[in-house]
A and B are shown apart, each in its own frame.
Chain A
Amino acid sequence: MDHAHDTHTHEGHDHGHDVHTHHDEPGFWTKHIFSEDHKVISRQFLITAIFMGVLAMMMSVFFRLQLAWPGQSFPILNYFLGDKWAPGGVMSPDMYLALVTIHGTIMVFFVLTGGLSGTFSNLLIPLQVGARDMASGFLNMLSYWFFFISSVIMFASLFIEDGPASAGWTIYPPLSALPQAIPGSGLGMTLWLVSMSLFVVSSLLGSLNYIVTVINLRTKGMTFTRLPLTVWAFLVTAILGVLSFPVLFSAVLLLIFDRSFGTSFYLSDIFISGQALEQTGGSPILFQHLFWFLGHPEVYIVLLPALGITSEIIATMSRKPIFGYRAMIGSILAIAFLSFIVWGHHMFITGMNPFLGSVFVFTTLLIAIPSAVKAFNYITTLWKGNLIMSPAMLFAIGLVSTFVTGGVTGIILADSALDIPLHDTYFVVAHFHIVMGASAIFGMFAGVYHWFPRMFGRMMSNKLGYVHFWITFIAVYGVFFPMHFIGLSGVPRRYYSNEAFALFDNTHELNVIITGFAVLGAIAQVVFLFNFFFSIYKGKRATQNPWKSNTLEWTAPIEHLHGNWPGSLPEVYRWPYDYSKPGKDEDFVPQNVPLSAGEVENH
């Protein structure tokens, strides 16, 4: 064991200290694979999410090719999809639907939920609250491994004979319940449901851990009003997850019953492939209620961690306290609360009672207020700051821009009357990709660039980061801004081809432009991947506190040690945003520095 341990220790681990209370000598397996160390688990989440992200991004490029040049042969499609799904290099309609379905599923759940929360809640919660690890390292490890199995099953579903789930990422029954309706609703959908059930388990194990850790393991002096906004965001996100994911699980469970055991929760009066089904009395709308009861909070599960990360990075890199710290916490809480009572805005045209629709219009538009507060607070933080443009800072600024640009079109869609002609058109696709997709992924990139030195002890290349940011930023707006116009022309989403309608002919040019930008954006991610993996091994060694930040994670030694701090835990004396405080020599004062004589703690 000793020998194995030494050969796999790269960082010059100090064996003399006695922080390890539960392990004396972790072997290779417990150190790198079945690790209970939150820092290792966070890396595992990140790398799994990157793999899934690359997969989902490639899918988007594939279906963008089809949308720009429908019916044209692309050898690359034949290479990846094979003769069955892309005979002669032309994607089949079934495969098109499968790709949009799995692209959505992976991006929303595996990258932006598992990847974002899993990586940064794991890395930052213990380090920023001053804890040795998560409340339960074992459950935390299980959380990753459930995520891993869930990812493997989702990945495996791509290779089965009838193809993966293809009823859209929202898997509305009856389409998702009946293999007669679409081949992907056979084994593919079964695997999707199994995978998502395991994902819910992973998410719950993780979230419960995050909540308990934040509440119980804060170090001395770390009051709730001294918590970094990242931790606030992760805490509230975890609460959202615990309250909403079980509802998805129940929705999935009932669907499994309908599919396999002949129940009729969601099915009623269906006649398909020459047969009248027995099921009667169920309601497909019930599924939508259950799904969106998770689905809408899910938007904020994706977005809040990104906003938390942005708050932290914008303050640090502006060398200025975050503006309106308490208002930021208040708006996180307000958004979280409201997110539970707006789900009906996904269902305005399902035949829902119009009065109920108006209630959802009201609650939905209310969310614009805390969101506006957040955006304006970010901008005020930049005002008269001393902005250091690290790649993380660029992505954080980019996030504020996409959050605003995508947010305002939400005001149109939340208006039930205007939703009638725009529902399920590309206007919706443009809206949520900017406000949720781009913003969240920007938050994730910002986090990776900013905390890379904390995760791997090395720096990523700034220059490559700049190339990555600018091309990605241009590509995001290049793809999704013109998409609004396609939606306003009435083009429905999830159409394999728009050629069946003369009405849509004049949107063809825009589709070509969009695909061009999509390919450009995909290429930019190669720069990121190179930078990321190259820097893990060859990057410049990180200094203790490279961004001159105030939070506790930068006081822990760079070398990974289970327990985070040798000796006693740091004590906290101030809030995390004392940047450029008058009367101080340096432009930052870490949280573990006691107040000097006569100093007032402001916020």
Chain B
Amino acid sequence: MIYIVILIGILAFWQLIKVYEYATIINGSEEETVTESDTRFNAKMMMVFCVAFFVFCIWNFWMYQDSLLPPSASEYGKALDTLFNFNMIIIGFVFFIVNAVLFYFASKYYYRKENKATFFAHSSKLEMIWTIVPAIVLTVIIIYGLKVWNNITAPVNPNETIQMELYAQQFAWTARYGGKDNTLGKSNYRLITDNNPLALVVEDPNNGDDKLVKGEFHIPIGKMVQFKLRSRDVIHSAFMPHFSAQMNCVPGMETEMHFVPIYTTIQMREMTKNPKFNYILLCNKICGAAHYNMQMDIIVESEEDYNKWLATKKTFAETMSATPDEPKVESVKEEMKKYTAITATVEEVKVEEKK
């Protein structure tokens, strides 16, 4: 880091010298507007840049392919990975070829007094080629892409899924399970209290068996999970990068997404050789000061373990009867204080982990 600062310092100094140097030249007289030696130099630089740029690109791919996300952990994600690689090969090819040709021409055909440019204003044949070829390639890309998209977004039968809700608010997530009846009951935003943070309608029989969890939620491997998404205050986005899944949470409406997890957390820890690996849910739509730290852990496990874990959680009816209900009055400042306390502890924990 220090080296970079020093490097930048040196460059800045070098710049200043250049500025000084050239300031004296500015007033000097030059015969031509652009000298032939300048043109030649910059033309050569085009090729130098091209090579350096390509080396830099390949170095980037080489160095950072491992820091990219591990293979997608959902069924749809697999299809997305393949689609992505397919598109990457096409655009990578176009990127290298077109840039190479551009810089090659720029360095080859530089101005020489004795030369004359070829008067070549138009060619229907060429123009047809580079209209039709991209059109064909794009047709393939569109059809393939839409096929995957239609698969991902096709409606699912709720009875064949685990019904869940992800509820977003500044700056935390709450997950809710459909409970025994696997059905999420109704809600009304005016009902929010400390005990009823998700504003569930108590009278709705579908709500009594629902289970609310914070901090982390579990899902079983190999089962379709359907998430209903709601937001309490501003737009959030439920992003689960490992499952290639994302959907906005919009106040005033309910959105939906679903996927089938295909690796358990433990399997993924082995695959990534990282014993601390955890799937995460994070917020990916700017939502306020602590947007950068709005997270929840996700545990994928066998159906047995999942059922065991879920059985330990209280139902909504149980929590409601346990404590008397009081209207929630809290100022923003207090909420913010709480949040800063949370981030502080998170950071402390992280620091300790690093040590």
Contacts and interface: CB of A to CB of B under 8 A. Distances in A.
Interface string B130-141: 110011001001
B235 to A, nearest CB: 6
A495 B295 CA distance: 13
Contact of A385 (B7, B77, B87, B109): B109
A539 B289 CA distance: 48
B247 A351 contact: yes
A501 B117 contact: no
A492 B239 contact: yes
Interface string A355-388: 0011001100110110011011111101111111
Nearest to B26: A461
Interface in B252-284: 252-253, 255-256, 276, 278, 280, 282-284
A362 B115 CA distance: 46
A499 B347 CA distance: 8
B337 interface: no
B18 interface: yes
Contact of B142 (A365, A378, A390, A539): A365
Interface centre among A319, A375, A420, A496 (most CB of B within 10 A): A420
Given A379-B101, A389-B111, A408-B95, A351 B255 contact: yes
B11 A387 contact: no
Contact of B253 (A268, A349, A481, A546): A268
Given A354-B153, A389-B42, A523-B11, A415 B83 contact: yes
Contacts of B328: 274
Nearest to B244: A421
A160 interface: no
B39 interface: yes
Contact of A417 (B15, B115, B148): B148
A500 B199 contact: no
A519 interface: yes
A257 interface: no
B322 interface: no
Interface SS of chain B:
helix
Task: Find the residue from A97, A388, A497, A510 having the highest chain B CB count within 10 A.
Answer: A388
B43 A389 contact: yes
Contact-residue bracket for chain A: 35 or more
A382 B67 contact: no
B237 interface: yes
A271 B33 contact: no
A69 B1 CA distance: 9
For the complex of A and B, the 10 pairs showing the least CB-CB separation, nearest first, are: A268-B252, A490-B241, A354-B153, A351-B255, A389-B42, A408-B91, A506-B67, A495-B292, A415-B145, A320-B117
29 contacts: A167-B286, A168-B286, A175-B286, A269-B189, A324-B121, A326-B122, A349-B247, A351-B256, A357-B149, A362-B146, A380-B120, A383-B120, A385-B118, A386-B111, A388-B33, A390-B33, A394-B42, A404-B102, A466-B42, A477-B56, A489-B64, A494-B292, A498-B292, A500-B343, A501-B280, A506-B66, A579-B119, A580-B116, A580-B117
